[in-house]
């Protein structure tokens, strides 16, 4: 069980500008329901891929497992599997001769509620050394009450701790656009740091830092990163993950 106090990484210097950029990017998505339908249409494919990734991964005695559990951002929507940030993390690990195996359990369209329901199936089939939880963006875009998102995220963290007591848990923070209402946006923004501190897990303050709102780093929908954008996301993740790895014995 992780005992070190909460640490913050990659906090933007100009937070208000970043929030505005994020809002622009997310509003393009929330106002364009055609893209939401397109993402929904791809859910079956990514669900099959996520299940196959879990079922076909057998933990070897000399490799530790990092499981990414998220939505279309983790699944690498619109890209080849090897371009998604979990695959890029695997390349980074291999380049450093670190004996870790990455499992991408990202599913397009996933909310915290559906993720909470799906997680037990994953935990029954996969031992985990590091668990990266990337969910909540779809909750925010749909205006799901933050109390529900909060409850579901904490539930998933609790399930991972129960199934893998020594696993390191990394929570990927997200934001929502102010057109959801300033009160809702403010509550959502504070959700992830509060959960990370109270649950004693590691935090990526904003997964899409330096990507959200940057036209050239996002696909045509304005929300899903391009291959280049995924490389930046992978770096955001790595800044936290490298510390998690250092805390694991014999890494």
Residue numbers annotated as active site: 72, 221, 224
Let me know: does 108 contact 43? Beta carbons within 8 Å.
yes
Q: How far is CA 32 from the centre of its chain?
A: 22
CA distance to 24, 32, 88, per residue, from 227 (Å): 20, 22, 10
Contacts of 143 (CB under 8 A, 6+ apart): 180, 184
Q: How many CA atoms lie within 13 A of 14 on its CB side?
A: 6
Closest CA to 157 of 190, 185, 115, 189: 115
Residues in the chain, how many? Answer: 251
Torsion of CA 147, 3, 6, 122, to 10 degrees: -50
- Check: CB of residue 6 under 8 Å from CB of residue 196: yes
């Amino acid at each position: 069980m992780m005992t070190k106090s909460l640490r913050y990484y990659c906090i933007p210097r100009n937070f208000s500008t970043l929030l505005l950029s994020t809002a622009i990017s997310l509003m393009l998505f929330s106002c364009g329901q055609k893209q939401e339908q397109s993402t929904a249409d791809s859910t079956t494919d990514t669900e099959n891929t996520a299940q196959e990734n879990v079922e076909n991964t057998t933990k070897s005695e000399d490799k530790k497992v990092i499981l990414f559990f998220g939505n279309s951002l983790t699944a690498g929507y619109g890209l080849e599997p090897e371009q998604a940030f979990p695959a890029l993390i695997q390349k980074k690990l291999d380049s450093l001769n670190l004996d870790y195996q990455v499992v991408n359990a990202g599913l397009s369209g996933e909310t915290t509620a559906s993720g909470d329901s799906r997680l037990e199936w994953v935990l029954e089939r996969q031992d985990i050394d590091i668990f990266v939880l990337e969910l909540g963006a779809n909750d925010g875009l749909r205006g799901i009450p933050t109390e529900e998102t909060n409850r579901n995220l904490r539930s998933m963290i609790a399930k991972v701790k129960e199934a893998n007591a020594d696993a390191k848990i990394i929570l990927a923070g997200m934001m929502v656009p102010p057109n959801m209402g300033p009160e809702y946006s403010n509550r959502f923004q504070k959700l992830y740091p509060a959960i990370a501190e109270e649950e004693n897990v590691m935090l990526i303050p904003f997964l899409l830092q330096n990507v959200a709102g940057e036209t050239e780093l996002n696909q045509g929908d304005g929300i899903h990163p391009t291959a280049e954008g995924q490389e930046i996301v992978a770096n955001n993740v790595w800044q936290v993950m490298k510390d998690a790895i250092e805390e694991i014995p014999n890494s």
